[in-house]
Structure 1
Amino acid sequence: MRPYVSGSTPPPADRNDLKTLKTLLPYLWRFKHRVVLALGCLIAAKVAGVTTPLYLKDIVDQLSLPATAAMVPLLALAGYGLARLLSSVLGELRDAIFARVVQGAVRNVAREVFSHLFRLSLRFHLERQTGGMSRDIERGTKGIGFLLNFTVFNILPTLIEIALVVGILLSRYDAWFAIVTFGTIAIYIAFTLTVTEWRTVFRRSMNELDSRANSKAIDALINYETVKYFGNERFETQRYDGNLASWEQSAIKNQVSLSMLNAGQGVIIAVGVTLIMWLAARGVTRGEMTVGDVVLVATFITQLWSPLHFLGFVYREIRHALADMERMFTLLKVGAEVADSAGAVALDARQVSIAFEQVAFGYDAKRQILHDVSFEIPAGHTVAVVGASGAGKSTLSRLLFRFYDASAGRITFNGHDIRQLSQDSLRAHIGIVPQDTVLFNDSIYYNIAYGRPDASREEVIEAARSAHIHDFVMGLPDGYDTTVGERGLKLSGGEKQRVAIARTILKNPPVLVFDEATSALDSRTEKAIQAELLSIAANRTTLIIAHRLSTIAEADCILVMDAGRIIERGTHRELLAAGGRYAEMWRLQQEGEVLEA
């Protein structure tokens, strides 16, 4: 798999439908017995369907004899009825057997794509628009269902029927019947393929513009409050409409080209049918064919041209489905920027010591964030990091979680480079209360229990008590079943922060990261929670990224960062005595608190 690079991931310009089908094949072969059985029913149903006109010919010919010699054609009637019955029953049996294959393949592909997206790096998700990506997955999974259903239920049966009909015509009648039939089909297919290839660019353009419009719309709706704050409803509507206008032009071109294709197909079929019926009429007038033969040929034509006309539509849609599937499978080809090493070991420790050793990192080559950062957090100790915005404080926590890997140096847990540890076990040992808490659009209970989904209700409530949010929750009409809304927008910043704290308390990890965890709280609530945070941090390895210096005065060590470098380190008292940057920050914050009071 290739590593992810910035930007969207459209399907390659040189489409390879065969490669897309090969990607899908393993998902189908998990149900190989059902696939083989369904194909057997398909072939048997088509053989029965093709023999139906033969029995019909015998019935007509026998009924056309002079009255003195006429008899009820019982055998022909019985054969005709049995053939029609088998054709119908076997077709339905094929559908029932293959349904599990289709739905199972769709489910397995969707699950794998969804799981793969979580294996990709934070960089990938920050640089992708979720709305467009979800649309790609939705269209891709629908495309799989369409491809499988219509390949097995339309294309294969039609091809088998064409082969059987041409064979019967060659064996029973003048070669011109088979030549005209096969020639018409060949011209029809060639015309359909050529025009459909030309039209594919319009469909792909429509998909791209549709994803873009959907991404912009979802982005605006997610940021509903921001749009309202600045009164930009008209601006967002115009931007959305601009994308729709481009989509409209592609849609019009798509429809016009479709009409041209349908008209051309109609002309080809009309000419072919006329020629075959002329051959049949000429054969009767010459005494070379009976009325039953005309009925046979007419029935074959009816059976053949109807699905063949539908085949044009199916082929077009299958091409579209392949384009949609290719776009979705492209996501699977994106390699994980951060991946477990071949010999990654699982971390299992109750106490963890952390060390940053000459760590350097930049989100891209043009922007270096950290420069030669080195510090240790002994097991059970607390280290706080302070500094101006953009100093690189939050980047430390992202590297700790291995959302990114350091470009130089290393980070160790109990002396082990975290790149040699499995990501699952590494993250299981860390709990974080982020500055910007995002909640799921579910209940408060669900969001707290997310820290440990197998926790009992009593444990969830106890965690809420520890985060000082239980009383607030019980005061709500629906209590813990209250839905928090999209991204938790129904809760205030402080309420969301306390839910995040409860979630981390419930996880109960040996390493804690507080990334400005109380920044959204008022002073009174902050003091109430601060004691609880210090309590849960006791005997745990804790990294505190702080803005308010009063919250870290008791830390074992305080690091002062500026422009990605550690410029001061020491205890609160040592840094105040040094009279450097930290002392200046402390003085300014104390003055600010006095003014606020």
Structure 2
Amino acid sequence: MAGHGMGARRLDPDEMKLAPGQKADVRRVVRLFRPYRGRVALVLVLIALGAASGVVSPFLVREIVDVALPGRDLGLLAWCVGGLVLATAIATALNVSQSMVSTRVGQAVMHDLRVAVYGHLQRMGLGFFTRTRTGEVQSRIFSDIGSMQAVVTSVMTQIVSALAGIIMALVAMTAMDWRLTLFSFVATPLAVWMNRRVGNRRRRIVKARQEKSADLAAGIQESLSVSGILLSTTMGRTQALTDRFAADSRELADLEVASETAGRWNMALFTALMSIIPALTYLLGGYLLVGGDTSITIGTLVAFIALQSSLMPQLNGLLRVSNQISASLALFTRVFEYIDAPVTIADKPDATVLDPRSVRGDVRFEQVDFAYPGSEELTLADVSLLAPAGKHTALVGHTGSGKTTTAYLVARLYDPTAGAVTLDGHDLRDVTMEALAACVGLVSQETYLLHATIAENLRFAAPGASDAELVEACRIAQIHDHIASLPEGYDTMVGERGYRFSGGEKQRIALARTILRDPPVLLLDEATSALDVRTERAMSDALETLGRGRTVISIAHRLSTIRSADQIIVMRGGRIIERGGYEELLAAGGDFAELVAQDETWQDEIRQVEI
């Protein structure tokens, strides 16, 4: 962006924050332009010069009418005409120059605002996105900020330009005749009152319109994704979804119409009033002239009407633009709501930067309690455990026992409500997020692949990885042979969310992606749940080889895969109820023995199906 090449400072989201409950106002919008105040000052100077050149012409016209023509002074006439041409040329050049500079500044501000919102959302943590629809986020970044573009790039300069023109014209008109000047503004109070009414109404309509637009975008995001199409087709809801979309689209169209037509009759009345005033000014000026007032001449009256004719559109435009800004503040409020959203997981100012190469991998939970945001019920309660460096710790338990939440706390997707989670004695809250991400690798059961090639998906974790390193990681993950058999190999596009591949293939690609990062701590959240028994056994052997020398914390889907775990943690209701080795816990006859029995029954059923 042009703005950054000249030493401009990127917008800091903290500078754009408002107090709780405060709405966006013009002062906050103006703060967006702080990094570009030098160029904003240049725009203001160009606007002022343009306005000044615009008021020169009426004085030249008065000189022509009152002096040059009655006195048949061709020399003076030529000079005045030349002045008119020069004033027009200068005004045009100044207008083009300020338009180019203001457009660059406006686009730079738009760029900074988008980046500020996106960067802030990147820091919001998993909890925010579990409560917010993806379509809503996209709507605010693209639709809301896109709708604000006209305000940021041109409306601000239109206001300043109109104000400068009004001030210059007002000074010139007053210098010609103060009585005619007062008369020119007789309808202004009525116009301001009508404008405020229209502005408040439009702001409410625009807010409702953007909310409906966000709902529509979220619906499109959900229903026209691969998963959405599969769901609507298999559930026979295609026509119902189309009908609902049509109803929402019609409501949005009605709001668009209401937004565009709000206050049109009021503004039309004011425009008609502004058009009548010059004619009435001729009447008043003629009355003064015929009455023998020597302070007014025909040239003065003609020049005054010329100034008045340029003033009325400026005044009308200023009121219209201020109305537009009033409506646009609803958009700014929606965008600033995201910027104002508190970051729940952030680096401390003095956070520690750990070197992954020196991390041993001791992971410890110290009397940890955890409740998800907005919930008073504890998901984990008084959890204390040690996952020793270089050892394999397995977490098992029924669904909802807290296994995945435990893994999320190790990756610091959430912070504990009470207690502490440490890595080599460092509280994770005291470690930078970037360093922690380099130390802890997570392979989740919710596999996500980018709509890109296999190689690009793998290098998302390690941008500098060589082709040989990609192949090695994929060999360990038992996926290389399949990739090599594809016509385009590692250049194969995976499709949206990886839907060109089976669940097991996606899991193995995701595992290879984590292997590339070579983290000292590896979290496996049912990372082999989508694999068939034979492939899972092969990959389990590979994972055992991979896990040597690093800390592995796995959440077991099939208990037969954790026989070699150094310790097994059994969880129920967010608490640890058993811990020990496989044979030790089996012999104890507790919850683990029950889980193993259920797993063996299920495995027998699978083998019968395969036979």
Is the structural similarity TM-score above 0.5?
Answer: yes
Are 1:481 and 2:491 matched, yes or no? yes
Deviation at 1:313, TM superposition (A): 3.2
Letter of the 2:328 counterpart = A
Cα distance in 2 for residues equivalent to 1:32 and 1:253: 36
Q: Is the 8 A contact 2:369 2:382 kept in 1?
A: yes
Cα distance in 1 for residues equivalent to 2:83 and 2:289: 26
Q: Is the 8 A contact 1:512 1:543 kept in 2?
A: yes
Are 1:116 and 2:124 matched, yes or no? no
1:273 to 278, 286, 304: 278
Q: Which residue of 1 aligns with 2:300?
A: 293
Q: Is the 8 A contact 1:46 1:157 kept in 2?
A: yes
Are 1:346 and 2:391 matched, yes or no? no
Cα distance in 2 for residues equivalent to 1:270 and 1:207: 35
Q: Is the 8 A contact 1:140 1:321 kept in 2?
A: no
Give the secondary-structure state (helix, strand or coil) at the position aligned to 2:347: coil
Q: Which residue of 1 aligns with 2:214?
A: 211
Deviation at 1:273, TM superposition (A): 2.9
Are 1:193 and 2:196 matched, yes or no? yes
Deviation readout 1:220-247 (Å, 9 max, x if unpaired): 2232212222111223233334434544
1:355 to 350, 364, 375: 364
Q: Is the 8 A contact 1:188 1:269 kept in 2?
A: no
Are 1:513 and 2:523 matched, yes or no? yes
Deviation at 1:590, TM superposition (A): 2.4
Q: Is the 8 A contact 1:11 1:326 kept in 2?
A: no
Q: Which residue of 2 aligns with 1:391?
A: 401
Question: Where does the alignment leave 5 or more consecutive residues of structure 2 unmatched?
Answer: 1-16
1:469 to 453, 475, 479: 479
Cα distance in 2 for residues equivalent to 1:341 and 1:256: 50
Cα distance in 2 for residues equivalent to 1:568 and 1:74: 103
Q: Is the 8 A contact 2:106 2:154 kept in 1?
A: no
Cα distance in 1 for residues equivalent to 2:24 and 2:79: 52
1:132-531 correspondence to structure 2 within 5 Å: 132-142=136-146, 144-173=148-177, 175-222=178-225, 223-282=228-287, 290-348=297-355, 349-363=358-372, 364-531=374-541
Give the secondary-structure state (helix, strand or coil) at the position aligned to 2:83: helix
Give the secondary-structure state (helix, strand or coil) at the position aligned to 2:419: strand
Q: 1:505 to 1:90 in 2, by over 3 A?
A: same
Deviation readout 1:349-388 (Å, 9 max, x if unpaired): 3321011122221214442211222211111001001111
Q: 1:187 to 1:553 in 2, by over 3 A?
A: same
Deviation at 1:278, TM superposition (A): 2.2
1:578 to 569, 588, 591: 588
Cα distance in 2 for residues equivalent to 1:255 and 1:152: 20
Q: Is the 8 A contact 1:202 1:254 kept in 2?
A: yes
Deviation at 1:256, TM superposition (A): 4.6
Cα distance in 1 for residues equivalent to 2:480 and 2:33: 50
Q: Is the 8 A contact 1:20 1:322 kept in 2?
A: no
Cα distance in 2 for residues equivalent to 1:376 and 1:301: 82
Give the secondary-structure state (helix, strand or coil) at the position aligned to 1:228: helix
Give the secondary-structure state (helix, strand or coil) at the position aligned to 1:335: coil
Q: Is the 8 A contact 2:195 2:320 kept in 1?
A: no
Q: 1:316 to 1:593 in 2, by over 3 A?
A: same
Q: 1:311 to 1:475 in 2, by over 3 A?
A: farther
Q: Is the 8 A contact 2:103 2:154 kept in 1?
A: no
Cα distance in 1 for residues equivalent to 2:154 and 2:282: 30
Deviation at 1:254, TM superposition (A): 3.5
Q: Which residue of 2 aligns with 1:80?
A: 84
1:550 to 560, 566, 569: 560
Q: Is the 8 A contact 1:442 1:484 kept in 2?
A: yes
Letter of the 1:48 counterpart = S
Q: Is the 8 A contact 1:139 1:325 kept in 2?
A: no
* Segment drifting more, 383-392 vs 302-311: 302-311
Cα RMSD between the aligned structures? 2.5
Q: Is the 8 A contact 2:44 2:160 kept in 1?
A: no
Q: 1:334 to 1:271 in 2, by over 3 A?
A: same
Deviation at 1:10, TM superposition (A): 13
Deviation at 1:70, TM superposition (A): 5.2
Letter of the 1:359 counterpart = V
Cα distance in 2 for residues equivalent to 1:186 and 1:595: 84
* Segment drifting more, 370-379 vs 506-515: 370-379
Cα distance in 2 for residues equivalent to 1:320 and 1:440: 38
Cα distance in 2 for residues equivalent to 1:499 and 1:76: 79
Q: Which residue of 2 aligns with 1:4?
A: none
Q: 1:492 to 1:286 in 2, by over 3 A?
A: farther
Q: Is the 8 A contact 2:102 2:154 kept in 1?
A: no
Q: Which residue of 2 aligns with 1:57?
A: 62
Cα distance in 1 for residues equivalent to 2:253 and 2:194: 27
Give the secondary-structure state (helix, strand or coil) at the position aligned to 1:183: coil
* Segment drifting more, 369-378 vs 357-366: 357-366
Cα distance in 2 for residues equivalent to 1:408 and 1:14: 32
Q: 1:442 to 1:281 in 2, by over 3 A?
A: farther
Q: Is the 8 A contact 2:62 2:300 kept in 1?
A: yes
Q: Which residue of 2 aligns with 1:3?
A: none
- TM-score w.r.t. the length of structure 1 is 0.91
Letter of the 1:351 counterpart = R
Q: 1:16 to 1:503 in 2, by over 3 A?
A: closer
Letter of the 2:334 counterpart = R
1:20 to 28, 44, 66: 28
* Segment drifting more, 568-577 vs 477-486: 477-486
Deviation readout 1:418-477 (Å, 9 max, x if unpaired): 122222212220111110101122222111111112323332233223323233223334
Cα distance in 1 for residues equivalent to 2:65 and 2:480: 85
Cα distance in 2 for residues equivalent to 1:373 and 1:559: 11
2:46 to 22, 38, 41: 41
Cα distance in 2 for residues equivalent to 1:61 and 1:472: 93
Give the secondary-structure state (helix, strand or coil) at the position aligned to 1:356: strand
Letter of the 1:347 counterpart = L
Q: Which residue of 1 aligns with 2:9?
A: none
Are 1:100 and 2:104 matched, yes or no? yes
Q: Is the 8 A contact 1:452 1:507 kept in 2?
A: yes
Deviation at 1:43, TM superposition (A): 0.5
Q: 1:149 to 1:339 in 2, by over 3 A?
A: closer
Give the secondary-structure state (helix, strand or coil) at the position aligned to 1:436: coil
Cα distance in 2 for residues equivalent to 1:61 and 1:479: 86
Q: Which residue of 2 aligns with 1:596?
A: 606
Letter of the 1:446 counterpart = E
Give the secondary-structure state (helix, strand or coil) at the position aligned to 1:512: strand
Q: Is the 8 A contact 2:162 2:317 kept in 1?
A: no
Q: Is the 8 A contact 1:355 1:374 kept in 2?
A: yes
Cα distance in 1 for residues equivalent to 2:582 and 2:301: 103
* Segment drifting more, 179-188 vs 392-401: 179-188
Q: 1:204 to 1:238 in 2, by over 3 A?
A: same
Deviation at 1:491, TM superposition (A): 2.0
Deviation at 1:318, TM superposition (A): 1.5
Cα distance in 2 for residues equivalent to 1:204 and 1:362: 34
Q: Is the 8 A contact 2:368 2:382 kept in 1?
A: yes
Percent same amino acid among aligned pairs? Answer: 31
1:127 to 105, 128, 131: 131
Give the secondary-structure state (helix, strand or coil) at the position aligned to 2:55: helix
Q: 1:14 to 1:405 in 2, by over 3 A?
A: closer
